[in-house]
Amino acid sequence: MHLNRGLKQKISILYADTGGGHRSSGEAISQGIEIAYPGQFEVSFVNNFRSWPFPFSIAEDIYPPLVNHARPVYKATFRATNHKNVTATLRRMFEPLSEKLAAEMLAQYPADLYLSVHPLYNQVLPAAICETNARAKYVSVVTDLVTGHVQWYHQDVHRCIVPTSAAFEQAVHFGIPRDHVRIGGQPVWPDFAKRMTAGAQTRAALGLDPNIPVALLMGGGDGMGRLEGLARNIAWSGLPLQLIVVCGRNVAVMQALEFVRPRIPAMRVLGFVRNVPELMGASDVLITKAGPGTICEGFVAGLPIILYDAIPGQEEGNIALVEEQGAGVYCKSTRSVLRQLEHWLGNKEAFHTAKISSSQLARPDAAVDIARLSIEMLA
């Protein structure tokens, strides 16, 4: 498909930094657009949450402490609002504000295609585009694998692209016409698999022994969950294992682990990184909270996965996906994480089976597929 209409058509990718996955998904799709349609579109990234009314204006600031330290509040809020009728009521309540906000966004960020990787934009723009007869198209790219929030699914979107068949059925259940929904996978960087081949060099650069297995411990872009305690226990466990800990933006955890690192030669502590493909290529097992992006990157890397935490609601379904497909296990306690690591280190057959199961779930070209499914709307 080649589009040539004189001036480049504009695509606005809508994201927010409530966690690191939304921005990463948008960046992956942007790469996919350039691969599928080189030089044909002008792509920009839009994050204007700061200009939204309270409490949306502080959403990026309160999200990490909320999911780290106020889980019951987050869980209750998620469940209370995850209903079509509740969401419809909230939309009506905020309609005067949302209409004004939508008009401002359409004027400030004119585009031919709005591609959202965050559910809250779906509460504002799709209806406004329909009501103003704007020529723009609106695509919602759902980045929750199984148990996404109803706010992802607005009946006025021109297309809803979901990562799994479970999400497809959820979209239809929440009111999107079946012929408006497509399965495109979870967007990961298109060059992810290629960059993984630098794993051996990455091990060497980190000063790790090439003959001893490596576990990669992650907690998302904000270093969520019980990352620090888990890192300490794995490092001091005595298992024949080397450990890479990615703390993300969680400076406190990074500083605490750096303090003890001189006494743990086999541990490497990193902050927010842009070389996840290389780190996964250097690793033998992935230990992570149940974030959809990291899980699907683990699939591409063919890594057996240990899930140690999940954000209530949106990530809980990811646990079942990983376990039912044999790609990994969920471990509720630090002790069970250590037991699972010991099991895989001592049972090569079980480890190999999980590795194969993980790789069979990989969709390395998902970002390119999503790009094509989105650009189709402009034809």
Q: Do both 297 and 199 map to the same domain?
A: yes
Q: Are residues 328 and 252 in the same domain?
A: yes
Q: Is 270 helix (H, G, I), strand (E, B) or coil?
A: strand
Q: Which two tokens stand for residue 325?
A: 């497909």
Residue 235, Cβ density class (10 Å: 0-12 exposed, 13-18 middle, ≥19 buried)? buried
CATH number at residue 296: 3.40.50.2000
Structure-token pair, residue 83:
């209903």
What gap in Å lies between CA 264 and CA 273, rounded to an integer? 21
Would you say residue 3 lies in a domain? no
**Rounded Cα–Cα distance for residues 101 and 218 (Å):** 36
Q: Do 242 and 334 fall within a single domain? A: yes
Kindly state whether residue 1 falls inside one of the protein's structural domains: no
Are residues 21 and 170 located together in one domain of the fold? yes
Chain centroid offset of residue 168 CA:
17
Q: Do 97 and 229 belong to one domain?
A: no
Q: Are 231 and 285 in the same domain? A: yes
Same structural domain for residues 182 and 206? Answer: no
37 vs 70: CA distance, rounded Å: 44
The domain total for the chain is 2
**pTM for the structure as a whole:** 0.90
2 is a domain residue: no
Residue 106 and residue 181 in one domain: yes
**pLDDT (tens place) for every residue of the chain, 379 residues total:** 445 455 789 999 999 887 668 889 999 999 999 999 999 999 999 988 777 767 677 777 777 777 777 788 878 888 888 887 777 776 676 666 777 888 888 889 999 999 999 988 888 888 889 888 678 999 999 999 998 889 899 888 999 999 999 999 999 999 899 999 999 999 999 999 999 999 999 999 999 999 999 999 998 877 777 899 999 999 999 999 999 999 988 898 999 998 887 778 889 999 999 999 999 999 999 999 999 999 999 999 999 999 999 988 889 899 999 999 999 999 999 999 999 999 999 999 999 999 999 999 999 999 999 999 999 999 7
The verdict on 371 and 288 lying in the same domain is no
| Same domain for 245 and 149 | no
Domain that holds residue 182: 9-189+365-378
